[in-house]
Amino acid sequence: MRAAAVQLNSSADRGRNLNTTERLVRAAVDDGATLVVLPEHFDLRGRDEDYLRDAEPLDGHSITRMRELARELSIDLVAGSFAERREGHDKPSNTSVHIAPSGEIEAIYRKIHLFDVTVGEVDYRESDSGEPGDSLVTGNQIGLTVCYDLRFPELYRILALEGALILTVPANFTRTTGEAHWEVLLRARAVENQAFVIAAAQSGEYPPGMPAYGNSMIVDAWGEVLARAPGGDAECFVAADLDFDRLREVREQLPSLANRVPAAYRWPQEVTA
């Protein structure tokens, strides 16, 4: 299987973002990709008020267009994430959607870990404009996660134990945290779970004062970076062939998943960090 990670520099201009997304997805498919992963907030990236005002339902324009594109190109498409409006919910969810080659929705994951963090002098408060999900999701051996989830290894271990061979990480990682932790965390999640990691990232600086890291990556089960995009404000795709025979070889020769001892593991009593 050839997989691609699309890197965008999305803004609050949904039409422009979707046109760029489609162009890069088509280019990745021309390069042989049959699985394409988009970044977090691929269709709309902005401030809290943008997500609260312009969130769409699952059958809204953004996901409908991606479903049509996946069907036309006959590919698996992970629509990174978008602000999903749901009836009965005051705030939108940050939702990742796996679309099958038929154009049907294979799996839906709503981001569990919201980014309420201060980076330098910039406050990020995702909970101001979003509602967290509460369910882990694996569909057709693809485990879905979003951005800040990357810092919570237990989520990825469960996805691997549920059969995920590919872990997707659409992201809008900050430049500061990306420079410090992006690659090491992606490689760690791949090595720990002996799975491929496809991380599609945002680049550029939007909104102003909130620069993203870029550096979209594809990592194999041995922790080798198979493909990497540049930082800056680059909009592009990177692609790599996923060798599942090699993945099985890694799992057989270094069977860390098989050597787990679940009976010895106990969650400690919760403490305040």
Phi, psi values for residue 127, rounded to 5°: -70, -15
Q: Which neighbouring-strand residues pair with 83?
A: 94
**Do 150 and 186 touch, CB atoms closer than 8 A?**
yes
- The CA-CA-CA angle for residues 209, 186, 156, to 5°, reads 110
Amino acid identity, position 132 = P
Question: Is residue 147 among the annotated active site residues?
Answer: yes
- Catalytic: which of 56, 84, 106, 147? 147
- Catalytic: which of 40, 84, 126, 235? 40
- Catalytic: which of 84, 91, 106, 111? 111
DSSP summary character for residue 81? E
In this structure, the number of other CB atoms found within 10 A of the CB of residue 183 comes to 17
Phi, psi values for residue 32, rounded to 5°: 105, 0
Among the listed residues 242, 7, 223, 255, the one whose alpha carbon sits nearest the alpha carbon of residue 141: 242
**Do 229 and 218 touch, CB atoms closer than 8 A?**
no
> How many whole angstroms separate alpha carbon 86 and alpha carbon 93?
8
Question: Is residue 111 among the annotated active site residues?
Answer: yes
Helices 153-161 and 183-193: crossing angle in degrees, nearest 10, is 30
> How many whole angstroms separate alpha carbon 239 and alpha carbon 4?
4
Question: Is residue 40 among the annotated active site residues?
Answer: yes
Provide the annotated active-site residues.
Answer: 40, 111, 147
